[in-house]
């Protein structure tokens, strides 16, 4: 019998977590670790490793093929362009404290696509051979240029067999024409709601009148479009976050089933205001407190609520696949399936890359509408797209579920050769995975109820998370 390489991490006084490269995992003791390292496995060890798919006898036997299949499912293969973020205008009618995109004033000139840029965007979309496309309209405030949104949507509906549109709007001023645009079945609204009404006013809407207007528009969006097509994201300052129960109550009262908890990300303009990110531990503690409060809420609630990134992480651990989040996938190809087109026609691999470039910190553009994609730059980015050969990640028990975030490293450190374990991306994901596995092995029925609802399965049993003595 041959055992696939196992990575391990000490969890507590008694137990270690083990995982293989295809993502199967179990808990066991230091005694097992010693037997594994010294090649002194007992019969019971061998039987357990066979049962869990961690071993095989011959290349090509069912256990080998099963492992290969699970491994493949965890790999994000490079697919054609299918997600495009468009920034038709940088102008905005709000001035939020931590706006990351150095927005332009509502009345400013020269910050919108002109006719030529619109034609170039449509030509770029026309060159794609994929049958499916998702367009996300960002800003500034994209509803200030409803005409450009209409032109893109009309074109995509004709060109692609399946198309979906997300409008990232502050919902401050929504005309009747804009409501009609947003009400279409293929169109989704993504807005910001900073956890509690009071905090939202402090950080975003500022005046009582503007705040009332936002509240009325958020209620109208939920009423006219429905919570299934409206999402609201809170952005929080880790040094002064709101009480988790207050945030959960505010989201529950509006019928939201998902909260994507984000801290101010200290990129672009936000870094100018908030300085370097020194909030790691504060945020980790808050995040854990928040999820615990969510689990208590879900214990008695008819409509449960998820924290989006934790659910996504659990799905990656237990199910593999789920490559649709650019902050967590492996390899994390840049400039391939995902593209950002800025108001000035520059192309970026992610929205974060756009923000970092906008403030002049480092130019992460990968071409322009005029010159096309810069293939050489894209290849350079993608030299370090996967964690397979990262000297830290190769030994990490969380490698099958994790990925690298080059843009975050460049944004924070201006370089990509910082040892992974010293990066904020690694530290925060290490904490997140530790917490996820703590929940997966929990004996608390309330935790099981929440996990089942987050994974959208009928029941979660911690027996799924294996133990070996």
C-alpha dihedral (34, 35, 40, 42), degrees to nearest 10:
160
Exposure pattern of 260-273 as b/e (b: 16+ CB <10 Å)? bbebbbbbbbbbee
- Element containing residue 48 per DSSP (H, E): helix 43-51
Write out the E strands in 88-237. 91-92, 104-105, 132-137, 162-168, 187-192, 230-233, 235-236
Given candidates 133, 393, 410, 451, which one binds ligand SF4 under the rule CB under 6 A?
393
Crossing angle between the packed helical segments 146-159 and 115-126, to the nearest 10 degrees = 20
By CB under 6 A, residue 334 contacts ligand SF4: no
Q: Which of 308, 398, 437, 454 binds ligand SF4 (CB under 6 A)?
A: 398
Closest distance to ligand SF4 from the beta carbon of 420 (Å): 5
Q: Which of 116, 127, 137, 254 is closest to 187 using CA atoms?
A: 137
Establish if 387 lies at the interface with ligand SF4 (CB under 6 A).
Answer: yes
Residue 227 DSSP one-character state: G
- Least Cβ distance, residue 396 to ligand SF4 (angstroms): 3
Looking at the Cβ atoms of 311 and 387, the one nearer to ligand SF4 is 387
Decide whether 163 or 428 has the Cβ nearer to ligand SF4.
428
Which is closer to ligand SF4, CB of 174 or CB of 440?
440
Question: In angstroms, what CA-CA distances link 116 with 112, 273, 374?
Answer: 11, 35, 20
Q: Which stretch binds ligand SF4 (CB under 6 A): 162-170, 234-242, 366-374, 396-404?
A: 396-404
> Does residue 145 bind ligand SF4 (CB under 6 A)?
no
Q: SS3 sequence, 115-151?
A: HHHHHHHHHHHHCCCCCEEEEEECCCCHHHHHHHHHH
Considering the complex, state which of residue 168 and residue 396 has its C-beta at the smaller distance from ligand SF4. 396
x/- contact string, 412-451, with ligand SF4 (CB under 6 A)? --------xx----x--xx---------------------
Binding piece for ligand SF4, criterion CB under 6 A, among 82-90, 129-137, 331-339, 388-396: 388-396
- Interface residue with ligand SF4 among 125, 340, 341, 402 (CB under 6 A) is 402
Chain residues binding ligand SF4 by CB under 6 A are 387, 390, 392-393, 396, 398-399, 402, 420-421, 426, 429-430
């Amino acid at each position: 019998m041959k055992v696939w390489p196992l990575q391990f991490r000490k969890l507590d006084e008694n137990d270690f977590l083990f995982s293989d490269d295809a993502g199967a995992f179990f808990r066991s003791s230091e005694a097992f670790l010693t037997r594994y390292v010294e090649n002194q496995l007992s019969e019971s060890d061998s039987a357990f490793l066979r049962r869990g798919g961690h071993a095989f006898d011959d290349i090509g036997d069912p256990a080998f093929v099963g492992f290969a299949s699970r491994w493949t499912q965890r790999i994000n293969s490079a697919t054609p362009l299918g997600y495009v973020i468009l920034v038709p205008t940088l102008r905005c009618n709000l001035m939020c404290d931590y706006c990351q995109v150095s927005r332009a004033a509502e009345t400013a000139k020269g910050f919108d696509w002109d006719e030529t840029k619109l034609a170039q965007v449509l030509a770029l979309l026309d060159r794609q051979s994929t049958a499916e496309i998702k367009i996300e309209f960002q800003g500034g405030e994209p509803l200030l240029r409803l005409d450009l949104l209409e032109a893109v949507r009309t074109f995509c509906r004709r060109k692609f067999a399946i198309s979906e549109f997300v409008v990232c709007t502050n919902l401050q001023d929504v005309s009747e024409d804009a409501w009609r645009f947003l009400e279409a079945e293929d169109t989704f609204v993504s807005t910001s709601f900073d956890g509690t009404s009071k905090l939202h006013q402090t950080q975003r809407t500022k005046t009582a009148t503007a705040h009332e207007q936002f509240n009325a528009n958020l209620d109208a969006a939920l009423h006219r479009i429905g919570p299934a097509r409206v999402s609201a994201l809170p952005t929080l300052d880790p040094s002064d976050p709101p009480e988790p129960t207050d945030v959960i109550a505010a989201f529950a009262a509006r019928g939201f089933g998902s909260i994507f908890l984000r801290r101010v990300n200290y990129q672009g303009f936000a870094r100018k205001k908030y300085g370097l990110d020194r909030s790691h531990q504060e945020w980790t503690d808050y995040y854990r407190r928040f999820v615990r409060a969510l689990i208590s809420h879900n214990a008695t609630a008819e409509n449960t609520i998820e924290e989006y990134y934790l659910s996504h992480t659990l799905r990656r651990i237990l199910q593999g696949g789920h490559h649709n989040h650019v902050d967590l996938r492996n390899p994390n190809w840049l400039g391939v399936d995902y593209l950002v087109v800025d108001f000035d026609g520059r192309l970026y691999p992610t929205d974060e890359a756009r923000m970092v470039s906008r403030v002049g910190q480092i130019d992460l553009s990968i071409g322009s509408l005029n010159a096309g994609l810069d293939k050489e730059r894209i290849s350079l980015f993608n030299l370090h797209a996967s964690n397979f050969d990262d000297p830290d990640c190769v030994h990490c028990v969380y490698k099958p579920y994790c990925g690298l975030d080059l843009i975050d490293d460049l944004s924070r450190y201006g370089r990509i050769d910082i040892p992974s374990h010293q990066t904020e991306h690694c530290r925060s994901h290490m904490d997140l995975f530790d917490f996820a596995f703590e929940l997966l092995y929990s004996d608390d029925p309330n935790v099981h109820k929440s996990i089942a609802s987050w994974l959208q399965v009928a029941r979660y049993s911690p027996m799924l998370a294996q133990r070996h003595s």
